[in-house]
Amino acid sequence: METMNAATTVWTRDAVQIEKRDVWAAMRRGFRCRCPRCGEGKLFRAFLKTASNCSKCGLDFTPHRADDLPAYLVIVIVGHIVVPAVLWIETNYSPAVWLQLATYLPLTFVSSLALLQPVKGAVVGLQWALRMHGFDENAPSDIPPV
């Protein structure tokens, strides 16, 4: 009687060849609205709509789940710049209210719009570098995406 003795493979995290992903480089490339992997292909097809994949390296962008995080981060960043500036100017110069409103509201609006796309790109780059959601090609396929 012949028995088959197949070699048992134990899959551990070290056994799988894992591509190194630099978090800061990926976030920097995303902030420049470029592909987090190659840094060349465009990340966005519209203002806040990501492309389906990279035109240079083919990285699939659809697994990202940036959701509302870029908007929250923009609020924090712009708030931490505008509010201290407003307080400092009010304390030292006390300009007229109409002048403050005519200055601070457009400044806040424009800087928020200017930061929204780069911050979303950085968030997508972070998710890719950390293999979050569908960016992990070694994840078991039976786990549904969150």
Interface with Zn ion (CB under 5 A)? 35, 37-38, 41, 54, 56-57, 59
Closest CA to 116 of 59, 76, 80, 65: 76
As a whole number of angstroms, the distance between CA 35 and CA 129 comes to 11
Question: What's the min distance (Å) between Cβ of 119 and Zn ion?
Answer: 19
Nearer to Zn ion, 57 or 139 (CB): 57
| Min CB(128)–Zn ion separation in Å | 10
> Do 92 and 122 touch, CB atoms closer than 8 A?
no
Backbone angles phi, psi at 75, to 5 degrees: -60, -45
Closer CB to Zn ion, 56 or 82, in the complex = 56
Q: Measured from the CB atom, is 43 or 78 closer to Zn ion?
A: 43
Query: Minimum CB separation from Zn ion for residue 123, in Å?
Result: 17
The nearest distance, CB 39 to Zn ion, in angstroms, is 7
Instruction: Pick the closer one to Zn ion by CB: 30 or 70.
Output: 30
Is residue 119 within 8 Å of residue 70, measured between CB atoms?
yes
How does DSSP classify residue 144? Answer: P
